[in-house]
Amino acid sequence: MAEQEIRKIGVLTSGGDAPGMNAAIRAVVRSALSKNMKVYGVHHGYNGLLEDDIEEMHIRSVSEIIHRGGTVLYTARSPEFLTLQGQQTAAANCRKHGIEAMVIIGGDGSFRGAKDLSAQEVPCVCIPGTIDNDIACTDYTIGYDTAMNTALEMVDKLRDTMLSHDRCSVVEVMGHRAGYIAANIGLAVGALVTVVPEKPLDVDKDIVSKMKFTKKMGKKHFIIIVAEGAGSAEQMAKEIEEKSGIEARPTVLGHVQRGGAPTVRDRVAATRFGYQAVELLSKGITDRVIGLRADDLVDFDIDEALSMKKSLDLSLLDINATLSV
């Protein structure tokens, strides 16, 4: 945590894009300008710092973006920034523009980048932006609600054709290391079974057996929700069809879950995060990760935030298992 007057800041989005990032950028820019700070937008994440792809932003730079998905600053992965030389180059470009602190919007990987940038004397404040909701220091991350609602809409559409053919639909949703999207979507659509990385399942014992049991009770169609980190929808559908004799079709929702206009919840959360980031910087408080706990804004030291662990509420799976018959 630093104590200094900060007059020029930068903002970037890093890692996977998430609906609501634009609302956060807007809040950062306009909050900073209201405090007579100068704001610089960095394009393409940490790559933009390396390549000096930086421009000053003004009030109108963020007009008509609060409702748009994606990120107007663009985003990218940056292997070069992982090197000490890359970090030094990024810091030098910050100093070239007089940028005294950065606001970093992204996930855990982005926060580790912020820690490295801070080590090069460019302090940072981080905002959690990831559809996976897997940042431990916060109950909620930008993009999570929109991604779930998009997935819900897609599965509801799939249900129509599934009902017409009495088949099993295996739907793969995002969540490489965390099953938050899958667990909630499974419960929301009444999936027969939900598969998440936190609780591996046996296809024969936990899925096929339940399908056969519920079929005897008159059920003719089945929805299986699987997080991408827990298995492949294509392989699972093939195995289910071979073992159950019921036609099974895989559907991978993929990056459609990252797109679309952000929901009210994402716009509000992102705006609160962006405003709070500037509030902290205006007080000379840096090297923090902002979060929401019980809907209250909180912030933690970056090291502390990165050391925290977050657990999926497996009771969601238990509830679904009881009701999905």
Which residue from 233, 271, 274 is spatially nearest to 252, judged by alpha carbons? 233
CA dihedral (35, 37, 41, 42) positive or negative: negative
The one-letter amino acid at 48: G
Q: Catalytic residue, from 17, 116, 132, 134: name it.
A: 132
- Give the H or E element holding residue 12: strand 8-13
Which residue from 199, 213, 158 is spatially nearest to 317, judged by alpha carbons? 199
Instruction: Give yes or no: 132 in active site.
Output: yes
Alpha carbon distance 143, 269 (integer Å): 9
Looking at residue 83, the DSSP 8-state letter turns out to be S
Alpha carbon distance 229, 173 (integer Å): 9
Residue 33, SS3 per DSSP: helix
- Give the H or E element holding residue 224: strand 222-227
For residue 84, CA distances in Å to 49, 88, 89, 111, 306 come to 14, 6, 9, 16, 20
Alpha carbon distance 109, 107 (integer Å): 6
CA dihedral (159, 314, 108, 25) positive or negative: positive
Give the distance from CA 176 to its chain's centroid.
Answer: 11
Alpha carbon distance 52, 46 (integer Å): 10
Active site residues: 132
